[in-house]
Amino acid sequence: MKNLQSILFLFLLSFAFLAQAQVGKICNWEGNKKAAVVMTFDDWSAGHNAIVVPELKTRNLVATFYVNSGNIGSWANVSTAATNGNEIGNHTKTHVAVNTSNFSTEVAAAKTVIESNVTSQKVTTFAYPFGTVDAGVLPLLKSSGCIAARGVGAPGGGQYSYSISDYYNYPSFSVYTATTTPAFTTQLQNVINGGGLLTYLYHSVNSQSVVDNNYEPVSQTNLQAQLTALQSYESAVWVTTFSNAVKYHREKNCASLTQVQAPDGIKWIVKLSDTLYNNAVYDYPLTLKMKMNGVNYDKIMQNGNTLTIDSKVNDTITFRAVPDGGDITLSLSSGTSVVGSATPSSFVNTAATLVKFAVEVVSTKSITVTSVKINLSSVGGGSAVNMTSLGNNKYEYSYTIAAGISAGSKTVTVTVVDNSPETNTTDITLTVLPSFTYLDIYTDASSMVNGTWGGVTEQSNSGASEGTKDYVFAYTISSYWAGAGLDICGWADSGAKDFSDYDSLQISYKGPASAGTGIAVSLIGTASKKSTSKSLPLSAAYTTAKIGLSEFGVFDLTKVTEIAIDITGAASGAGTLKIDNIRLIKTASITTDVQVFKTIANTASVFPNPFANEVTFIISSDENKMAAVNVVNMLGDVVYTSAQLYTNQNITFGKDFAPGIYFVDSTVSGQHQVIKICKN
* Helix, strand, or coil (residue 101): coil
Give this prediction's pTM: 0.55
Binning pLDDT at 50, 70 and 90, where does residue 367 land? confident
pLDDT at res. 174? 96
Worst-scoring range by mean pLDDT, 83-97, 151-165, 313-327? 151-165
Q: How far is CA 647 from CA 62, 603, 626, in A?
A: 46, 10, 7
The answer to whether the bond into 610 is cis (omega within 30° of 0) is yes
* Helix, strand, or coil (residue 282): coil
Find, among 470, 471, 473, the residue nearest to 482 by Cα: 473
Q: Give the H/E segment covering residue 579.
A: strand 573-587
Find, among 151, 168, 167, 159, the residue nearest to 196 by Cα: 159
In DSSP terms, 89 is beta-bridged to: 66
One-character DSSP codes across 331-391 = E-SSSEEEEEEEESSEEETTS-EEEEEEEEEEESS---EEEEEEE-GGGTS-SSEEPEEEE
Cβ atoms of 191 and 197 within 8 Å: the answer is yes
Q: State the virtual CA torsion across 127, 132, 135, 140 in degrees, nearest 10.
A: -50
pLDDT at res. 445? 67
Is 368 buried (19+), middle (13-18) or exposed (0-12) by CB count in 10 A? exposed
Q: Strands 316-321 and 286-291, how do they pair?
A: antiparallel
pLDDT at res. 21? 38
Find, among 46, 350, 351, the residue nearest to 207 by Cα: 46
Find, among 69, 72, 161, 55, the residue nearest to 106 by Cα: 69
pLDDT tens per residue across span 577-632? 888 888 888 765 433 333 323 333 336 777 787 888 888 888 776 666 777 788 87
pLDDT tens per residue across span 84-96? 999 999 999 999 9
With pLDDT > 90 as the criterion, what percentage of the chain qualifies?
49
Q: Please state the φ and ψ torsions of residue 228, each to the nearest 5 degrees.
A: -65, -40
**Residues 6+ positions from 24 with CB-CB distance below 8 Å:** 257, 270, 288, 289, 290, 291, 635
pLDDT tens per residue across span 249-267? 999 999 999 999 988 877 8
Q: Is the pLDDT confidence value at 333 over 80?
A: no
**Residues 6+ positions from 450 with CB-CB distance below 8 Å:** 487, 488, 489, 490
| Higher-pLDDT residue of 56, 449 | 56
Binning pLDDT at 50, 70 and 90, where does residue 453 land? low
| Chain centroid, CA 332 distance in Å | 31
Binning pLDDT at 50, 70 and 90, where does residue 674 land? confident
Q: Give the H/E segment covering residue 143.
A: helix 138-143
pLDDT at res. 583? 84
* Helix, strand, or coil (residue 142): helix
CA separation for the pair 61, 224 (Å, rounded): 12
pLDDT at res. 480? 40
* Helix, strand, or coil (residue 471): strand
Q: How far is CA 35 from CA 38, 189, 230, 319, 576, in A?
A: 10, 10, 12, 18, 52
Mean residue pLDDT across the chain? 84
Worst-scoring range by mean pLDDT, 119-128, 191-200, 545-554, 668-677? 668-677
CA separation for the pair 288, 321 (Å, rounded): 7
CA separation for the pair 246, 276 (Å, rounded): 13
- Mean per-residue pLDDT, 653-677: 77
Per-state percent for the chain, helix, strand, coil, to nearest 5: 20, 40, 40
- Mean per-residue pLDDT, 40-45: 97
Which domains are seen in the chain, by residue range?
A: 34-235 (3.20.20.370), 336-433 (2.60.40.10), 438-587 (2.60.120.260), 594-679 (2.60.40.1930)
- DSSP state, 571? S
Q: Is the pLDDT confidence value at 488 over 50?
A: yes
Q: How far is CA 172 from CA 41, 160, 193, 217, 300, in A?
A: 11, 10, 17, 17, 38
* Helix, strand, or coil (residue 43): coil
Binning pLDDT at 50, 70 and 90, where does residue 375 land? very high
CA separation for the pair 495, 185 (Å, rounded): 13
* Helix, strand, or coil (residue 55): helix
Binning pLDDT at 50, 70 and 90, where does residue 566 land? confident
Side-chain-side CA neighbours of 628 within 13 Å: the count stands at: 9
